[in-house]
Structure 1
Amino acid sequence: MAAAPGRVCAAMFGVALAAWAGPAAARTAFESRCMDAAHEAVTTFATRSSGWRVDNTLSYRDLTRMKRPAVAGGFVLGLTRTESRVAIQADGTLLQSPDGTMECVLPRIAVTLYYQPIVVYVSREFKPGSCAYDAILAHEMRHLKSYLDYLPKVEERVQARLGRRFAGRPLYARAGASRLLLQRDIDRNWMPYIRGEMGRVEQMQAAIDSPREYARLSKVCQGEVQSLIGSTRRSRS
Structure 2
Amino acid sequence: MKIKKICVWISIFLVMLFPFNVIAGELVKEGVQVVVPDDFISACEQNLPPVAISINRHEGTVNESNTESIRRLNDIRLKTNDHASEGDMLGLTLAQLSWEYNVMYRSFQMLEPNIHCARPEIKVDMVVINHTVYIAKELPRGSCEYEVIREHEYRHVKINEENFKNYAKKLADDFQKEFNSKIYYGPLDVVDKAIKDEMQKYWGPFIERTTKKLEKDGHNLHKSIDTPEEYARIPSMCSGGITRIMNSYKQQ
CA contact (8 A) 2:93 2:153 kept: yes
Match of 1:115 among 128, 144, 158: 128
For 1:118-148, what per-residue CA distance to the aligned partner results, in whole angstroms no more than 9, with x for missing partners?
1111111112333322221111001111111
1:48 aligns with 2:58: yes
2:248 to 231, 234, 237: 231
1:163-203 deviations in Å (ceiling 9; x for gaps) = 23436x35124544333232232223234324533441432
Deviation at 1:212, TM superposition (A): 4.2
1:5 is matched by which residue type in structure 2? E
- Superposed CA RMSD in Å reads 2.8
- In structure 1, the partner of 2:49 is 39
Residues 104 and 170, structure 1, Cα contact 8 Å, conserved in 2: no
Does 1:64 find its partner at 2:81? no
Following the alignment from structure 2 to structure 1, what is the Cα–Cα distance between the partners of residues 56 and 185?
29
1:82 aligns with 2:95: yes
Q: 1:48 to 1:219 in 2, by over 3 A?
A: same
Q: Larger deviation: 66-75 or 180-189?
A: 66-75
Structure 1: how far apart are the matches of 2:130 and 2:48?
A: 38
Partner of 2:12: none
Paired amino acid for 2:190: A
CA distance in 2, matches of 1:184, 1:143: 38
Q: Is the 8 A contact 2:48 2:106 kept in 1?
A: no
TM-score scaled by structure 1? 0.76
Taking structure 1 as reference, are residues 131 and 39 closer, same or farther at Cα in structure 2, changes over 3 Å only? Answer: same
The one-character-per-residue Cα deviations of 1:24-70 (angstroms, maximum 9, x if unpaired) are xxx82111221233227422221112211211111111111111227
Structure 1 residues 100 and 223: alpha-carbon distance in aligned structure 2, compared to 1, 3 A threshold: farther
In structure 2, C-alpha distance between the alignment counterparts of 1:96 and 1:233, rounded to whole Å: 73
TM normalised by structure 2 equals 0.72
Q: Residues 171 and 178 of structure 1 are in contact (CA less than 8 Å); yes or no, is this contact kept in structure 2?
A: no
Separation in structure 2 between the aligned mates of residue 94 and residue 3 of structure 1, nearest angstrom? 18
- Count, aligned residues: 214
Offset of residue 229 of structure 1: 1.8
- The CA distance in 1 between the partners of 2:24 and 2:192, in whole Å, is 15
One of 182, 187, 191 as aligned partner of 2:200: 187
Asked whether the equivalents of residues 85 and 226 of structure 2 are also in contact (C-alpha less than 8 Å), the reply is: no
- Structure 2 residues not aligned, in runs of 5+: 1-21, 28-36
1:164 lines up with 2:164 in the alignment: no
Q: Which residue of 2 aligns with 1:21?
A: none
Structure 1 residue runs of 5 or longer lacking an equivalent are: 7-26
Query: Alignment partner for residue 148 of structure 2, among 121, 132, 135?
Result: 135
8 Å contact kept, 1:114–1:151: no
- Structure 1 residue 222, shift from structure 2 partner: 4.0
User: 2: distance between equivalents of 1:217 and 1:101?
Assistant: 71
Return closer, same or farther for 1:73/1:40 CA change in 2, 3 Å cut-off: closer
